[in-house]
Amino acid sequence: KAKKQGRNAIQTFTHDINAKLTQRLMLRNDLQDAIKQEQFSLHYQPLIKHDGTIKGFEALLRWQHPAKGFISPGRFIPIAEQTGLIIALGQWVMEQAARDLLALSALLPSDCLISINLSPLQFHRANFLQVLADTLAATGLPASRLELELTEGVLMNDTEGAITRLHALRKMGVRVAIDDFGTGFSSLSYLRHLPVDTLKIDRSFITHLPENRKDTAVVSGIIDLAHHLELTVVAEGIETQEQHQALAALDCDVFQGYLLARPMPFTAVVDWLKSRKPLFADLT
């Protein structure tokens, strides 16, 4: 009987793997057409400064599949990377986000940023800097209003090459953020050598603030470290008032999360900006 159960378990297991593989293959095919069919869109999530003003927006990719509905970037970005489609997709994101930010200019502070997630594949391409410069020129987005989000892993592998690139970006005036900071198991000493502007503390460290004293200690340490290195610190994934208050007390510079605003399609951003209460409304 034990043997039979074992065999059943294996069958279920291989069945699951096959189902997953088939799904991936289907998604892979669908992805090829999705750009042409305009199934992608961008949502924008506000980044809010300590004083309540808007620092910028993070552009987040959305795929509305004609049959399967909404598919999260966590599922399709890896496939887009494996197939190389991320290059075309990433380029589309860059152009669309730049245009959208400029279209919002009248409603925004003049130094408002657009923050874009960059795949390692984009960053490591030989023509990356040239393509980026061309895109800025074509869209008219000033380099100083673009921030590129890279994960620790990208900067840790091939640190030399990465540093050269980061210096070139800085020379262009483009800002760089380290995304999901703290999840990469990397040594902190590398941070000293990286010409970056911003650290984004991963949501996993924020979730249990302020009750979890160890998490609070880690976040406090990251914020101090960042400030000593003259970096801006962003906290991701703020969902509660308590988390927000704890982070403000720790002197975090920028806040991002559902509590402040969810990622929104362009039209909703316009409404959100128009309906935003004036700062410190109770004082005026």
Residues that bind ligand C2E (CB under 6 A): 45, 60-61, 72-74, 77, 90, 93, 117, 119, 149, 179-180, 236-239, 256-258, 263
Task: Supply the minimum distance, in Å, between the C-beta of residue 156 and ligand C2E.
Answer: 16
**Within 13 Å and on the Cβ side, how many CA atoms surround 80?**
28
Contact between 259 and 238 (Cβ < 8 Å): yes
Contact between 147 and Mg ion (CB under 5 A)? Answer: no
Gap between the Cα atoms of 129 and 19, Å rounded: 40
Contact between 152 and Mg ion (CB under 5 A)? Answer: no
Contact between 41 and 53 (Cβ < 8 Å): no
Among 17-25, 35-43, 149-157, 218-226, the segment contacting Mg ion (CB under 5 A): 149-157
The nearer residue to ligand C2E, 46 or 166, going by C-beta atoms, is: 46
Amino acid residing at 25: L
The entry of ligand C2E, Mg ion, none that residue 210 binds, CB within 5 to 8 Å by partner kind: none
List binders of Mg ion among 181-240 (CB under 5 A): 236
Question: 3-class DSSP state for residue 194?
Answer: coil
Amino acid residing at 282: D
The entry of Mg ion, ligand C2E, none that residue 45 binds, CB within 5 to 8 Å by partner kind: ligand C2E
The nearer residue to Mg ion, 180 or 197, going by C-beta atoms, is: 180
Gap between the Cα atoms of 174 and 197, Å rounded: 10
Q: Which residues pair with 48 in a beta bridge?
A: 54, 255
The entry of ligand C2E, Mg ion, none that residue 73 binds, CB within 5 to 8 Å by partner kind: ligand C2E
Gap between the Cα atoms of 44 and 38, Å rounded: 18
The entry of Mg ion, ligand C2E, none that residue 46 binds, CB within 5 to 8 Å by partner kind: none
Contact between 180 and Mg ion (CB under 5 A)? Answer: yes
